A and B are shown apart, each in its own frame.
Chain A
Amino acid sequence: MFLSIATTHRPATDLGFLLHKHPDRLHEVELTFGKAWIFYPEAREERCEAALVLDIDPIGLVRGKGQGDGLLDHYVNDRPYAASSFLSVAFNKAFRTAMAGTCAVRQDLADSAIPLEAVITPVPMRGGEALVRQLFEPLGWNIVVETLGPAQKLYARLKLAGSARLSTLLTHLYVLIPVLDDTKHYWVGEDEIDKLLKRGEGWLDSHPAKDLIVRRYLRHRGILARAALERLAPQTQDEAVEPEVKTAPEETLEAPIRLHDARLEAVTAALRAIGPKSVVDLGCGEGKLLQRLVRESWARQLIGLDPAIHALERASRRLKLQQPGGPPEGRIALIHGSLTYRDERWAGADAAALVEVIEHLDPDRLPLMERIVFGEARPRTVIVTTPNADYNALFPTLAAGAFRHPDHRFEWTRAEFGAWADRIASAYGYQPALSFIGPEDAQLGAPSQMAVFSR
């Protein structure tokens, strides 16, 4: 990756004093992840340009790492080549005094705004050209963005021009390059807040994109971001930091009616009407239904089943299992399993709930699930909810024929769900009772449909 800084302030070669790097030499800076080279492609009195070239060792970056989700565990990636927090670290080391705004021989120059021009390439633009402008223009920089590469417009050659102190330019780049890149090569801890506030002094507080900068700089770690914003502007401390784009597509789509809450409430009410001693939530996910059921006194024993271990871990935290103030031991059990397999561990439950689960199973898996739930475990009550495909026509942003969630393998109309419920009831000896969840449309029914099977 490449960074150059040029000035036309005369004599331009004074840039060498400001950067503490002699214009006629090749400078080498050792870094933990490679090297940086600094040299001057141009050093005339009218214009002087310093280039910093980052020479990252692409093999050293990944060697010896195990598997995981960490940045460096992808064996082939753009990290050795794209402008990122590596670049910030590198010029913080190479231009430390310049960043601090000190210059023993030309302090007056270090203190004054001079015409500056910087080129950085390739800059990853997660957020597009609009975001680049949103970040740099309020700080007084003229921006030229030249997108690179044939396919996705992910990278740009970024040129900033304006009049500022050199230390200001360096500081802006130090903070905003990682923000554009939106990842960091090191673990972000609390000391990052101090770093950010120190670098952001005098400009971050009044930056219109302050929230985004803080959130991205602190790697979307909500607690840290909140702490940093509080310190920036104490009056805003009650404002929650909303994640940028974290909601599932289905929730966004259905959000205006808070459908999922209505679903959980409907299932809880249906169960309450029967009062089973033990309930298993098949496909419990993060444990939102269990969280409601744990408040019900009739539900003596609750079981949550899910094939995703990380979902169970989140459910465990949500339900405060094995935590002070959590439910007594034995009231809730979370088990790792799935509807592909018969399972003694939950087979004895009085009631089973399948809330928005069946549509995530391939149709050819349904017979197996049916046999396991209705044929083998045979709880006295089984509650199934699933989207009503008829209602999809009323979602303005949903294309015709599309599903509400990319993982949905099917979505049933009211007629299809009714036929399925009748077949299950007659094959396995249950009585079905069908109902709707959510606001009802006269022609198309409600967004979600529910069947309560009992025997």
Chain B
Amino acid sequence: MRNSDHHIEIPDFSLIVLIGSSGSGKSTFASKHFRPTEVISSDHCRGLVSDDENDQSISGDAFDLVREIAGKRLKNRRLAVIDATNVRAADRKGWIELARRWHALPVAIVIDPGIDICIERNRTRPDRPFGGEVVRRMVSEIRRGLRGLEREGFRQVWKLSSAEAVEAATLARVPLWTDKRTEHGPFDVIGDVHGCADELQALLAKLGYEVAWTGSAGERQVAVTHPQGRKVVFVGDLTDRGPNSPDVLRIATSMVAAGIAHVVQGNHDRKLERWLAGREVAIAHGLQQTIDQLQSESESFRAALPKFLNQLRSHVWLDQGRLAVAHAGIKAEMIGRGSGAVREFALFGETTGEIDEFGLPVRADWAAHYRGDTTVVYGHTPVLAAEWVNNTICIDTGCVFGGKLTALRWPEKELVEVAAGKVWCEPVRPLAAKTADASAQAAADQLLDIMDVTGRRWIDTELRGRIVVAEENAAAALEVMSRFTLAPQWLAYLPPTMSPSETSLAEGWLERPEEAFAHFRERGVVEVVCEEKHMGSRAIIALCRSAETARARFGVTGNETGAIWTRTGRAFFSDGQMTEGVLARLRGAADTLSLWEELGSDWLLLDAEIMPWSAKANSLIESQYAPVATSSAEGFAAVNEALDRASARSGDFAVLRERFAGRAERAALYGKAWAPYVWPVTGIGDLKIAPFHLLASEGRVWFDEDHVWHMTLADRLADADAGIVTRTQWRVVALADENACADAVSWWESLTGAGGEGMVVKPRNFVSRGTKGLIQPALKVRGREYLRIIYGPEYDAPDNLVRLRQRGLGGKRALALREFALGHEALKRFVAREPLRRIHECVFAVLALESEPIDPRL
């Protein structure tokens, strides 16, 4: 209890409970020190529900209202003041619970100016007809309870025990310990060090810190500085398991003392603190190494440790609230708040209560549910590689287990890593253990369960970590998957959406290759492959050597020798004979090349474009595009004819004539835009197929070969059967070579000038990563006339282009990466012969993500 000398300091986010008898002056005190909106008065709420501030019969309802309002304020991280007598412990219990519910610190302020004053004040108020006995009873009950307030759960108790003290009291608000929002860094957040002092120093050096040691053994000192004034945030678990915990502690201690580091508390740090304090702790999980290492350290070094460890916080909230660092993560509703629950969560994360086959607790995945705006960086759970999940990232890359020590630069969001010198400690559970259960229920696994696809889903992918599918998106995909797609057994893959390049600022253009080159160049890509983009329809082709292979490998029951499906999983041809005919031709090409032997597989999964566009899109052309062409051309013709007549007789129609002449010209171009993509199809001979990826074959997902390899294979297929396989023009472009880039640009100009759709630019490697993670696997650069079909006849009029340029690509790109990772995951699981449900969930997720609202013109 603080018998303050009139000065009260409260956390700026807390639940203030005023305690005082009737007439003690609580409301006066509250109105003096708090904003009116912060104070929730039980009398006021009595009035709100009954029109009578003194009606004790509706107290239950009035207090429900107080609790509701206070709860909403706390939820929104606003301080709240409960203005009620709060005489008995039972009255106060609910406020403690409310504060805990919202992770606010409960603070009691006891106002006790003396019984006589209270009685006197009540006497002058006609609405308080009760006598002195009531007040006397209240005051004595309050005084009896005073000593128990902290035990009740109040984190601070302030007592004002005279009229003068109440009158003279001053009140100040201080930010919570964890609230460092005013610090803007830049920061380097460093993962679990676990006594790996050498790796820590290597990482600090790589991050640009200067580490200077002085003194001799036992009394060594260290000073760390950064020329650009960066600061380090350690995610905790500085010690245990590793070879040199004392030096790690030295570095951290000195950096904290110098004000250039924050350390959040890890579970190992807390255990060490408790051991140092002589508490009984289980000596396990590497604590013994730390204890042994500390034996040879000086007494003064050890003596300083408890103080250092004691001041470690549960988490730290930085940079205007944009960044939070906690050891094991933190939920959005806990950031910048304080409670036992926050501390426990930040130390240990969330577990499901189950224990896995290695005897370790199964972690519930809070990150998969995370929806906060604050970026959360954490450690605690060793992972193979740091991956972003819902604006959170775990940067414990298991250095002490022979992995890496990882830092995240903030606000750059770049990962900087150093490899472990060796395996310092064998992990109990292998890093990146397979999450798939190995149970041999193969038959049952082929049966799909509704729970595999509905509700909120999250899927772990190798390329992009955990991907979440929202419930409403899954619901949207259910009907399509149930009624319109091919049987799930066929659908081992759906292709990702593809983003256009950044919007061109060149006059008259919306998209140009320069932006695509710049995009990849900026992300560290050295070479790209430019491929002619055919204007047809995307097709995934499962090509089997025989119907028997199809049945054995895909688990289908019919006599098909493969399947061809669209980007939404529907049968590409409604006529099964057409499908078989196309498959037979492609099989012939594969036979000619002896591909089966070369790849050691009896089946192939190809990614291709099938032309003409009109084969799939004819009804779209007739119902949507052709009417636009007719109506715009005819309308403008009539306008121009009338304008010609009008200007022949009088007036100044020059501006209007020019305007409508331009509009008519563009409308005429529109009518011609799709002509190159339309021709009649009467049989297989009218189709053209342009494969561009070999996705998978037995035992292999071919994403590890670069696009030169894939396009070389496509060329060979075209050579083998030029009648049906169309050769795709492609070229490798070194992004540093200005001439090569300029050549590629003019190549694109001639392609699109001749009616081509455009080109696709891909990093040479199928899967490319930069400092900020996965890079777009491909960007499309569409030609001017093709864009006319998409954006409408008049999109390239100067004042229209200005507006169309304001297009956001972020959503499309995030979607493309998620779908790319899911598609890869599906293929990986398929070639690993995982259960159908494991493949299907990825494919279903791609379909579900496609229901996200994205501008369809992108």
Contact among A51, A308, A342, A372 for B646, CB-based, below 8 A: A51
List chain B residues, Cβ under 8 A from A376: 447
Name the CB-closest residue of A to B480.
A307
A121-B627 contact in complex given A336-B478, A341-B452, C-beta closer than 8 Å: no
**Residues of B with C-beta under 8 A to A152:** 622, 626-627
Residue on A nearest B472 in the bound complex, by CB: A309
Q: Is the CB of B639 within 8 A of A2?
A: yes
Q: Which of B626-683 contact A (CB under 8 A)?
A: 626-632, 634-635, 638-639, 642-643, 645-646, 649-653, 656, 659-660, 667
Q: Which residues of A contact B790 (CB under 8 A)?
A: 75-76
Q: Is B213 positioned at the interface, with any CB of A under 8 Å from its CB?
A: no
**A344 CB contacts on chain B under 8 angstroms:** 449-451
Residue A70 lies at the interface, judged by CB distance under 8 Å to chain B: no
Is A358 engaged at the interface, CB distance under 8 Å to the other chain?
A: no
Closest to B451 in A: A344
CA distance A77 to B791 in the complex (A): 10
Q: Which residues of A contact B804 (CB under 8 A)?
A: 59
Which stretch (B81-89, B130-138, B325-333, B482-490) binds chain A? B482-490
Contact residues in B for A42 (Cβ distance below 8 Å)? 645-646, 649
A341–B448 touching, CB < 8 Å: yes
B557 touches A345 (CB 8 A): no
Nearest chain-B residue to A149 (Cβ)? Answer: B630
B775 within 8 A of A: no
A192 to B363, CA, bound (A): 59
Contact indicator B791/A26 (Cβ below 8 Å): no
As a 0/1 sequence over residues 50 to 83 of chain A, the CB contacts with chain B under 8 angstroms (1 = contact) are 0101010011100100110000001111101110
Which residue in A67, A81, A343 is a CB contact (below 8 Å) of B628?
A81
Closest Cβ–Cβ distance, residue B654 to chain A (whole Å): 11
Residues of B within 8 A of A336 (CB): 454, 475, 478
A155 x B558 contact (CB < 8 A): no
Min CB–CB distance A435 → chain B (angstroms): 28
* Contact B856–A39 (Cβ < 8 Å): no
B487, B643, B653, B792: the one within 8 Å of A76 (CB): B792
- Tell me the chain A residues, 160-183 only, with Cβ under 8 Å from chain B: none
Is B625 touching A121 in the complex (CB atoms < 8 A)?
no
**A144 CB to closest chain B CB, in angstroms?**
14
Q: Determine which of A41, A155, A338 lies in contact with B627 in the assembled complex, contact meaning CB atoms within 8 Å.
A: A155
Roughly how many angstroms separate A77 CA and B630 CA in the complex, as a whole number?
A: 11
Which chain B residue has the least Cβ–Cβ distance from A340? Answer: B482
Check B624 against A41 for contact (C-beta < 8 Å): no
In the bound complex, residues from chain B placing their C-beta under 8 Å from that of A309 are 475-476, 479
Q: How far is the CB of A150 from chain B (nearest CB, A)?
A: 7
Q: Are B631 and A82 in contact (CB under 8 A)?
A: yes
Q: Least Cβ distance of A314 to chain B in Å?
A: 14
Q: Is B795 positioned at the interface, with any CB of A under 8 Å from its CB?
A: yes
Docked complex Cα distance between A242 and B393 (Å): 60
B478 touches A75 (CB 8 A): no
Is A371 an interface position by the 8 A CB rule? yes
Residue of B nearest to A1 (CB): B635
Contacts of A24 in B (CB 8 A): 650-651
Q: Is A339 an interface residue (CB 8 A)?
A: yes
Give A63 to B807 CA distance when docked, in angstroms.
10
Cβ contacts under 8 Å, B794 to chain A: 58-59
- Would A75 and B856 count as touching, CB distance under 8 A? yes
**A308 to B477, alpha carbons, bound, how many Å?**
10
* Neighbour of A343 across the interface among B449, B638, B656, CB < 8 A: B449
CB of B791 within 8 A of CB of A148, answer: no
Report if B434 contacts A (CB, 8 A). no
Q: Please state if A341 and B645 are interface contacts (CB–CB under 8 Å).
A: no
Q: Which residue of chain B lies nearest to A65 when distances are taken between CB atoms in the complex?
A: B855
B432-451 vs A, CB cutoff 8 Å, 1 = contact: the mask equals: 00000000000000011111
* Nearest A residue (CB) for B651: A26
Question: In whole angstroms, what is the CA distance A353 to B40 when docked?
Answer: 58
Q: Does A412 contact B (CB under 8 A)?
A: no
A74: chain B residues within 8 A (beta carbon) = 624
Q: Is the CB of A81 within 8 A of B635?
A: yes
- Docked CA distance A338–B649 (Å): 70
Residues of chain B with a CB closer than 8 A to A157's CB: 634, 638
Which chain A positions have C-beta within 8 A of B629? 149
Q: Residues of A contacting B660 with CB < 8 Å?
A: 53
Residues of A within 8 A of B216 (CB): none
A127 to chain B, nearest CB (A): 15
In whole angstroms, how far apart are the Cα atoms of A363 and B576 in the complex?
Answer: 12
The answer to whether A338 touches B630 (Cβ under 8 A) is: no
Check A340–B475 contact: CB distance below 8 A.
Answer: no
| Set of chain A residues within 8 Å of B792, measured between Cβ atoms | 58-59, 75-76, 80
Instruction: Decide if A299 is an interface residue (CB 8 Å cutoff).
Output: no
Proximity bits, A183-222, B CB within 8 Å = 1, else 0 = 0000000000000000000000000000000000000000
Question: For the complex, is A30 an interface residue (Cβ under 8 Å from B)?
Answer: no
Is B857 at the interface (CB under 8 A from chain A)? Answer: yes
Are A41 and B646 in touch, CB under 8 angstroms?
Answer: yes
- Across the interface, name the chain A residue whose C-beta is closest to B560: A364
Q: Which residues of B contact A51 (CB under 8 A)?
A: 639, 642, 646
Query: Do A76 and B628 form a contact, CB below 8 Å, given A2-B638, A59-B795?
Result: yes
Expressed in whole angstroms, the Cα–Cα distance for A368 and B556 within the complex equals 10
A155 touches which one: B447, B453, B634, B646 (CB < 8 A)?
Answer: B634
**CB-CB < 8 A to A367: which residues of B?**
557
Residue of B nearest to A371 (CB): B447
Q: Judge whether B651 and A59 touch: CB under 8 Å.
A: no
Tell me, yes or no, whether A141 is within 8 Å of chain B by CB: no
How close is A193's CB to chain B, nearest CB, in angstroms? 30
A254 CA / B487 CA spacing, docked (Å) = 31
Q: Are B622 and A151 in contact (CB under 8 A)?
A: yes
**B803 at the A/B interface (Cβ < 8 Å)?**
yes
B71 near A: Cβ within 8 Å?
no
- Taking CB as reference atom, which chain A residue is nearest B663? A55
For A80, the chain B residues whose CB sits under 8 A away are 632, 792
Given A66-B853, A81-B628, check contact A307 B482 (CB 8 Å).
yes
**Is A76 touching B483 in the complex (CB atoms < 8 A)?**
no
A42–B660 Cα distance when bound, in Å, is: 19
**Chain A residues, Cβ within 8 Å of B479:** 307-309, 338
Point out the residues of chain B lying under 8 angstroms from A319, CB to CB.
Answer: none
A94 adjacent to chain B (CB < 8 Å): no
CA–CA, A51 and B795, complex, Å = 26
Q: How far is the CB of A17 from chain B (nearest CB, A)?
A: 18
- Whole-angstrom CA separation of A157 from B475 in the bound complex: 46
Q: Which residues of B contact A26 (CB under 8 A)?
A: 651-653, 656
Contact at B635–A345, with CB atoms within 8 Å? no
In the assembled complex, B481 has its CB within 8 A of some CB on chain A: yes
Give the chain B neighbours of A151 by CB distance below 8 A. 622, 626, 630
The interface residues of chain B lying within 8 Å CB-to-CB of A1 are 631, 635
**Nearest CB of chain A from residue B659's CB, rounded to whole Å:** 8
In the complex, residue of chain A having the shortest beta-carbon distance to the beta carbon of B652: A26
Cβ 8 A contact of B557, one of A60, A360, A364: A364
List residues of chain B with CB within 8 A of the CB of A55.
659
Is B166's CB within 8 Å of the partner chain A?
Answer: no
Is A337 part of the binding interface, using a Cβ–Cβ cutoff of 8 Å?
yes
Whether B632 contacts A81 by the Cβ 8 Å rule is: yes
Contact of A340 among B488, B630, B632 (CB under 8 A): B488
- In the complex, what distance in Å separates the CA atom of A307 from the CA atom of B474? 12
Over the window 350-369 of chain A, the binary record of Cβ atoms lying under 8 Å from chain B Cβ atoms (1 yes, 0 no) is 00000000001011110110
The smallest C-beta distance from B171 to any residue of chain A, in angstroms, reads: 48
Given the complex, which residues of A lie within 8 Å of B649, measured CB to CB? 40-43
Q: A121-B635, A150-B630 are in contact. Are A364 and B642 (CB under 8 A)?
A: no
Shortest Cβ-Cβ A-B pairs, 4 listed = A149-B630, A338-B482, A41-B645, A81-B631
The 27 listed contacts between A and B (C-beta, < 8 Å) are A2-B638, A4-B642, A39-B651, A39-B656, A41-B646, A53-B660, A55-B659, A59-B792, A59-B794, A59-B804, A60-B803, A63-B803, A67-B856, A81-B631, A81-B635, A148-B634, A149-B631, A152-B622, A152-B627, A155-B634, A338-B478, A338-B482, A338-B483, A341-B482, A343-B450, A365-B487, A376-B447
* Additional 6 contacts, C-beta under 8 A, given A41-B645, A81-B628, A82-B631: A51-B646, A78-B631, A122-B635, A341-B482, A344-B451, A360-B483
